[in-house]
Structure 1
Amino acid sequence: MTGGFQGAMQVSLQPFKTQRSFSVRQLDRCFNWPTLNGKRNLIVSSPAIFTKPIRQIKASDQIQQHIRDHILENNLRPGDTIPSEVELASIFGVGRPTVREAMNALAGSGLVQISSGRKPRVSVVNAAAIGRIFEHGLAIQQLSALEVLEYRRIIETGCAKLAAERATPEQRLELVKLADNLKDAEGDLKAYSEADIDFHNSLANAAMNPLVRLTVQAVAGLALESSRTGLRALTNASEYSDISRIHMDIAKAIQSGDVEATGQAMEVHFDSALCRLKKLSPKPDA
């Protein structure tokens, strides 16, 4: 496999030689110049491309793209190997630090796994890599807690409806047990919020859709923090009981296979979460 990989890549990584001057004849072949009084109006009509600076693409970025292409074009699957750092450095004619930079970036995005003494392998797509993007967005205030909740509402309501249709008997029973766990954890902020996330992750599994599962689990870290934030707004034990009851309503609706009741219970759940979040949100200045 390495030989084919090398043959395909060596050509495509040759540096581009940019021609910096053009004859009128060359330009005529490329562009249909407008004329003014029978002459080319080059000042008025020169293409905007000539006003843009030429940018060099980093070698490590090129290597990343070629490895992505290699994975796709060769239908590689999770666990399949790609050439080692030493082999890639030879193939691309670059130093090992450049290859290492590319591989670390690919590993950070969840596309490959790298470990000492072993060839890199194609990764299983995992929620953690996606979740880091969401967490970064929240950390730099590109996303707000309200926006995360709205996103969860859209995704998880549909997810729950799928679970009502598709979940196995074992998964339906597990959701009821997890809803019971919430009741047992009432009053303990840490335990309750973790039980809440366990319930929602199990809900994602029961939807029987890998993309839905990844999406829900990707925001699990944000959801955990959001859950704890919302629970801090609770002032008495009865409010914990209300949330537990809502989760049990969801679990029972899924257990019975009632899609409509499941959707309604999820709407009640997120209405309740939204109210708690608004209690803690600073009011805008009058």
Structure 2
Amino acid sequence: MSLPPLKSLPVFEAVARLNSFSHAAAELRITQSAVSHHIKALEDHLGESLFVRSGRKLELTLEGQQYLDTITSSLNQIARATDLIKGASETRLRLTVYSSFAVYWLIPRMPELKRRFPNLELTLEMSYAEPELSDRVADCFITIDKEKRGFHFDLLYKERLFPVCSTAYLEEIKHTLHVHDDQELHAHLAASPQSLANFPLLTSFSMYEKYTEEWRRWFASMGTNLPPNAQFHRFSHLMLAYEGAKHGLGVALINDYMLQSNSDDGLVRLPCSHYATEDHFYFAYKHSRRHEPAIAQLKQWIQQESSSLRV
């Protein structure tokens, strides 16, 4: 077995994580010269450069990045195995989650999580795009990506998008379309979904990395094309479109989990059909860590809380 200088591995991980020799030295309570010695010893053993300097900027080489991914996971496993033998149970978890999911669904429910598992310390890392599934990033993830070797994926729900607007704007829609109640509006939109394009539509780039795409798909699900006369307010992220709809800018398509905890904020669902996207949301974690108490607790709680989304 050809092992590297083992004492150098935590030093390498610290330098890569902190992107600094001096910060790593301070964290590890050793001299910066000692840090440099450890990195040189590791590079000599591997026969590869792990870092490259560009002025004051320190970056991992491709080989360094690949090595870091493996080393971080291995060091974490060693630490967890040691705690297990010592009788210590890890209660701290890092969860990477989409920003809208965190703000509108998870955070309002976290007091209940704290009551249920008072010793669980959860750190939220917000993601605006698909997170990199790696122990270096977080311990577990909410993601629509399920193509990662060595990870386990538990289905939370299948995404749907609903047209929503403010309560005041809903009355304006009824008045303009000459309907008197939700039942008449439902019949009108079912027969003529294009009439919704008479009102400003709110679109977000982040959902499909393309403006208006979510509305094109909604109209297609209703059996018609996106009307050429449609006018749009454009937002970079779904959260901004949500807020725009809440403040009466028009009609937005929002995710079902955003409706779950916001029934009293003045935002209402229009009485018309939803659009079922092809995205499935999963709770993801390393298969090798499936028996860890903290991950098992969080998994159990999230699955139970998300059960209403699967109806």
Could you tell me the TM-score, scaled by structure 2's length? 0.20
More helix by share: 1
- Looking at CA atoms only, which structure, 1 or 2, has the larger radius of gyration? 1
Could you tell me the TM-score, scaled by structure 1's length? 0.21
